[in-house]
A and B are shown apart, each in its own frame.
Chain A
């Protein structure tokens, strides 16, 4: 090697080292910059999953109402629902969580509370008189965890048996079934008329849970189900086997459409509105879907509550509750709480309910312009002695993934009920062993 090339090499090493150091400094410098980039004073970052057509319209109205009421600028970050479930974990795990974010009441919120990721809202709750705005039963079920308030409910849905009145009438079913036997009789008439009695689109797994939830609620009752969700009862218990047995009867008599796992819930909804099927067990959000497709409420769709199966069992109502929470490390918690207080107000809740096809927790929200199907759904919830969350919100995330999987396997082949439940229980043993 010549002297010249050695000198050149030394210069190259120095050059590379300086370049690297400069880049590192720039990277580190900008990092600390973004660290404090959370909403400046007066700005509240809001992340939510109301991003579909109805949801975006609802949030646009809510934003204008709440920006005025709270005096804060709201940075709106909608995300698609399934993507949100993943993204929110990542955001909460980072050092810059969103100030305010939407979330589902029940086991999912309990999980975050147990990991200390949510800020308690008791002070804000008392200061803004939310005990008058949100009914006690909902506060107890949806807002309170480990004795403190963590979530402000903004809307909820009710799961009922939605049906096509024209198809039912043509098949000779004159009155909505009130008991299990009446339901089976109606299904028989529909089958004879060439209509699929029940449409189920469980491609994304969750629509099947409503059948499991209601059958268990109507036979073993809400108290037993709460035990099962908490891991204190077993999936191999006779009560669960009984619920699956009843469900299997429906499959054996071919009351469901072929291949439910191949269709989405909207496909099942289309089957009902087009007359190929008569009923689908779904939440009130399907009214938003049908309204958007021009299917007229009351005439071409209606609902009845899931019938009584075992007499004397409390007729619980089932459904998810959406709410908003404040992250524990939020940059602007004071501003977030102001916006939260607005979200509990009648105007904001009315905006969400009307455009989403949801029901409003705040009884003062003026929902008179909603269609009568929604009014009757709200009445049903009011009448119900207990409000229960659907399966994937009632039990821990780890168990719910395995449980939904088990339901999908059962729907695929109902003869496998016993092995499906045994597998679910073995997962449950692992999940709940720590508690």
Chain B
């Protein structure tokens, strides 16, 4: 029986759509428009065509920010997904104190990224941070490092802090997904003599497909828009080495007062995100049709 009461739905949707349009769509379009101007917030605003985008092509800061964003997206999808899956599989087998232990692993999700950034900023402090103290106590003095101010380690250190929270998210989703794995199938496979690894590959992982889609999309989206944790931990430093596209757009707009260029960078971030996420969903629906 089809539901013909769609007109009620439009009535209810009118307010959210309007609010979304005013607060998200219109400012985004307005910002894209300014990417083609030399707007300085307190002045400027003349049309400059593609000058900002031409500047972007020559700007080493932009190249580094783009590189950082892409590295973050790749590593930020692979590592939390795999680690989250491993955690979920492990936690799924625990029966004693299961709820308590799962809550501990869930805790990072309850923190805001700013808090996560501040906590890990303290962990990474060169002299009195937890990480270096532990390394020293274990006798690994040569591994002690200025994690956040050494350009070689800064980005990975920030990504590790971000990943710490993302793993919790992945774990939660996989745990939920594991409850949907049909018991009869795993038991049948066991009876047929399949080992644990074979059961995983043949039964559990395919059943977790929907969870994978959710985890990968969420990780991808969160990685692409990384700003708060970078800003809190390093401010984009040391000397711009940890800037992502979002941090670059912010710095260029608010520190050098060049809102036109900042808007152009934001527009590029939008396009990059749309392409990556779009490709993922396209691949996903292709797999759905050909599975």
Contacts and interface: CB of A to CB of B under 8 A. Distances in A.
B24 interface: no
Given A405-B239, A412-B238, A89 B149 contact: no
A32 to B, nearest CB: 16
Contact of A261 (B15, B41, B237): B237
Decide if the interface of chain B is mainly helix, strand, loop or mixed.
Answer: loop
Nearest to B41: A93
A204 interface: yes
Contacts of A112: 42
A84 B89 CA distance: 48
A20 B7 contact: no
A263 B127 CA distance: 10
Contacts of B10: 12-13, 16
Nearest to A271: B127
A111 interface: yes
A205 B237 contact: yes
B254 A262 contact: no
Contact of A90 (B4, B41, B43, B151): B41
A9 B126 contact: no
Interface string A1-35: 00001001101110110011001100100000000
A150 B15 CA distance: 46
Contacts of B240: 405
B146 interface: yes
Contacts of B41: 89-90, 92-93
Nearest to A408: B239
Contact of A20 (B14, B43, B148, B150): B14
A155 to B, nearest CB: 24
Interface residues of A, number: 42
A205 B126 CA distance: 17
Given A11-B7, A20-B14, A409 B239 contact: yes
Contacts of A85: 254-255
A44 to B, nearest CB: 21
Nearest to A11: B7
A429 interface: no
Interface in A385-415: 397-398, 401-402, 405-406, 408-409, 412
A254 interface: no
Interface in B201-258: 235, 237-240, 251, 254-258
A203 interface: yes
Interface of A: 5, 8-9, 11-13, 15-16, 19-20, 23-24, 27, 85-86, 89-90, 92-93, 111-112, 114-117, 203-205, 258-259, 261-263, 397-398, 401-402, 405-406, 408-409, 412
Q: Which 7 A-B pairs have the closest CB atoms?
A: A12-B7, A115-B43, A262-B149, A261-B149, A93-B41, A259-B146, A398-B256
26 contacts: A8-B4, A11-B7, A12-B6, A12-B7, A13-B7, A15-B11, A16-B7, A16-B10, A19-B14, A19-B15, A111-B42, A112-B42, A114-B43, A117-B43, A203-B237, A204-B235, A258-B126, A258-B146, A259-B126, A262-B126, A262-B148, A398-B256, A401-B251, A408-B237, A409-B238, A412-B149
Interface of B: 4, 6-8, 10-11, 14-15, 18, 22, 40-43, 125-126, 146, 148-151, 235, 237-240, 251, 254-258
Given A16-B7, A261-B238, 14 more contacts: A23-B18, A24-B18, A89-B257, A93-B41, A117-B42, A259-B126, A261-B146, A262-B149, A263-B126, A397-B255, A397-B257, A401-B251, A405-B239, A405-B240
